[in-house]
Structure 1
């Protein structure tokens, strides 16, 4: 039986980078987790332990910090592209680079009292939402960019139904025409070109996701997923595909009858697990092939 080496890559995972820009007395903050992975002429290192083709993962980490200083960090997609292109263009043994970045948002702490001076160097973490991107770049010069977000928690207190589903011997769920619908959105969207206005695109995609969630009278979370993806593609020509993962954060009415109380849709138990998980892709008919863009 012949044994051969299959696809492989190696890199530095979750390099933590905080970049402070000191604009006089006003400071600006970027807080990132950067993961890099490289592939190329790696047969020898796997088969014989010859490291001649290997750029150390510690060097990859240092490159993240050096480029953050030399070129700055604005949009995470642009920074990821710069890193990926640097690795492929500077090392002949590296054929492909994958860079994934998560960005954690911070907001300025507001003045303590009306008329107090602005706190120009004090920040508070802005919730749980995380901005993401995934960039691939190879020796042919081809780049792909997938932007995204995760942990965008949303909830509708009404405007959601669920009925008409399959019932079998194990079904206990009762149909409903009025329920709480809540989810923590994970959305990723693929750009047609790596030359997008990433800041404007992110802002508008996020807005469209939220508006579609709020504006859809939902008969199923699947229907809401499609409406959210369709809204993005209808208004953003730079995007060719949206992938969504929506965990159904179930809210169950609490039975208050044992206490002599009614419960007209006011008191709920929010269950964290198990939960339904709805996943799907929405794409344009002429979307170019994705290849490994999502991996």
Structure 2
């Protein structure tokens, strides 16, 4: 039996949902997409005020919302917390959205090493460890879906965002390996790699971002891709073409193009 909402079909079996990064624009949009009576959402977020707002919106739609804040630089605590919540919630669907998009400061020649470390912890290590922990639980139950939010930047060697693009590249490879391991056990894993999403954070840092996606449209596309069992979903489509072009260009030409990019 299926429920149709915002143009996507959502199975009633996905009654218990985890969404990290829910205080952010994309995480909040994904959580809101599933809000309806009979659904319980565990919302993780750094900004408690924004998390209160999205939780209120979800409750107004008739769903149950539980709020939680966890520093993802403490990976051990994040894994312990998600496993404890899974004991009670028995998650059917997990959106691991939380991440940071910090890049090299204009006055720096290379990125601050602590920025690189933080990007690796929040964008790769924590979500990968949480996904592994949840995949094991879901495999024991024989079903479940995990959606990891990567980035189109993970397909390119961006000199002003080595930490960000590197962490997202690592997440993409991990997601594919995890998918191969748990798909025979009834667990689906999708890596979503969006391009630029029109959020307040993006507008605050730059106005020169081509092919920007509306955040609600991005959420609908990602949810639809996960429902269809996509392994690796890139949106909008021109970023798929850029990924292929990056791989085909001669190394010296590609390096010159990348070196000329601005943050």
| Higher gyration radius (CA) | 1
TM (norm. structure 2) is: 0.29
Structure with more contact order per residue of length (Cα contacts < 8 Å, sep ≥ 6): 2
TM-score (norm 1): 0.27
Structure with greater helix share of residues: 2
Bigger strand fraction: 1
